[in-house]
Amino acid sequence: MNFNDYSNINAIRARGLSDVTFSNDQLNHFHDLIYEQVISAAVSKLSKEFGNPPSPFCFFVMGSAGRMEQSIWSDQDHGLVFKTNSNESQEYFLKLGKEIAEGLDLAGYKKCSGSVMASNPLWCKSLKDWENQLGLWVGVSSWESIRYLLIFADARTIYGDHSLLNILKEKAFDEVKREQLLLRMLHNTMFLKKGVGVLGQLLVETHGAFTGSINLKETAFFPFVNAARLLSFYEGIKETPTLSRISLLSDVVMPHQDKSLYSRNFSALLDYRLKHGSHRDYDSGHYVNINKLAKDEKKALKEILKVGEQFYEHVRKLLERK
């Protein structure tokens, strides 16, 4: 595989995108498809140059890709776990991670600014090292290590041996439960940007390129996503999409009508972003200019924001009571 092949995938992505932009599900399956093509291309390139992979492995995505909640533009968040704990494997898979990160970049997915990528040794480890690392993260329980655990919670296999990631997830859930880290996790995600003011008005950016737009990512997505993620630790739910996490909750934790209220509104939010986001690039996809919204569209958005806050509060109270 060479430069041109990844660019070809980018061209395919650009052509195919317009057919899937009306549905979050279809859009995310499409992103998965592009990822798979890039990863296979990278694997076959490495195989040609350095031989076949020395061990079974699992390549997983995190962040919005992990949750199947990517918008039209998306950046990279991924990691890799391999079974055989050896220097040879470490070297090989780090190379593979780098190749995939480069390939995805050429295919139109910006590299992660925080370097949460399989090209970074922190996110590319053998099963044993990963288990140690998760134990360490829980043990240290610093602000940063808790953040890593929260990122890891959204991991979803996209290529390779799914069982490897499953082992890690169970380990993570067990450790977090044992050390009772849920409250710390709650506090780590507690800062929320308000979307609706006390007078019931939408709170928009007052400065910068997005003046007059509301930041959907921080005001609307964060409460839902963070609340559902916390519950996934609480209940040991390995699924990553926010909607799946909500639907898999036991009725004891959350009554059925609440679950359906939160799901309905998050689902509406996903559609809303696709329909109203600017989508010129990665950043603009999170912003909606409220002056371009009809009255009922504004009302719908306020309802989503209100329910998101309610959901987060619900989870906060649940965890703080324990």
Query: Taking contact as CB under 8 A, which single stretch among the options 69-77, 172-180, 259-267, 295-303 is the one that binds other proteins?
Result: 69-77
Least separation in angstroms between CB 161 and other proteins: 24
Size of the site for other proteins (CB under 8 A): 43
Q: Is residue 232 involved in binding other proteins (CB under 8 A)? A: no
Q: Is residue 203 involved in binding other proteins (CB under 8 A)? A: yes
Spatial separation of the C-alpha atoms in residues 154 and 134, rounded to whole Å: 14
Q: Is residue 191 involved in binding other proteins (CB under 8 A)? A: yes
- Asked if 234 contacts 314 with a C-beta cutoff of 8 angstroms, the reply is no
Residue 112 DSSP symbol: P
Spatial separation of the C-alpha atoms in residues 174 and 166, rounded to whole Å: 12
Q: Is residue 105 involved in binding other proteins (CB under 8 A)? A: no
CA quadruple 220, 226, 227, 231: dihedral sign: positive
Q: Is residue 119 involved in binding other proteins (CB under 8 A)? A: no
Residue 201 DSSP symbol: P
Among 75, 99, 175, 309, binds other proteins (CB under 8 A): 75
Question: Helices 3-20 and 24-50 meet at what angle, rounded to 10?
Answer: 170
Query: Taking contact as CB under 8 A, which single stretch among the options 22-30, 57-65, 87-95, 244-252 is the one that binds other proteins?
Result: 57-65
* Beta carbon nearer to other proteins, 157 or 240: 240
Among 6, 73, 173, 234, binds other proteins (CB under 8 A): 73
Helices (H), 141-250: 143-153, 162-178, 182-188, 216, 222-235, 242-247
Least separation in angstroms between CB 115 and other proteins: 8
Give the containing element (helix H, strand E) for 213.
Answer: strand 213-215
Q: Is residue 70 involved in binding other proteins (CB under 8 A)? A: yes
Least separation in angstroms between CB 207 and other proteins: 4
Please give the C-alpha separations between residue 235 and each of 102, 122, 149, 286, in angstroms, as whole numbers.
36, 27, 16, 30
Give percent helix, percent strand, percent coil of the chain, each to the nearest 5.
60, 10, 30
Least separation in angstroms between CB 256 and other proteins: 26
Q: Is residue 77 involved in binding other proteins (CB under 8 A)? A: yes
Among 46, 116, 146, 164, binds other proteins (CB under 8 A): 116
Which residues between 284 and 313 bind other proteins (CB under 8 A)? 285-286
Spatial separation of the C-alpha atoms in residues 237 and 67, rounded to whole Å: 13
Q: Is residue 151 involved in binding other proteins (CB under 8 A)? A: yes
Please give the C-alpha separations between residue 74 and each of 31, 132, 222, 280, 316, in angstroms, as whole numbers.
9, 30, 16, 12, 29
Binding site for other proteins (CB under 8 A): 62-64, 67, 69-71, 73-75, 77, 113-114, 116, 144, 147, 150-151, 153-154, 191, 194, 197-199, 201, 203, 206-212, 217, 221-222, 225-226, 229, 282, 285-286
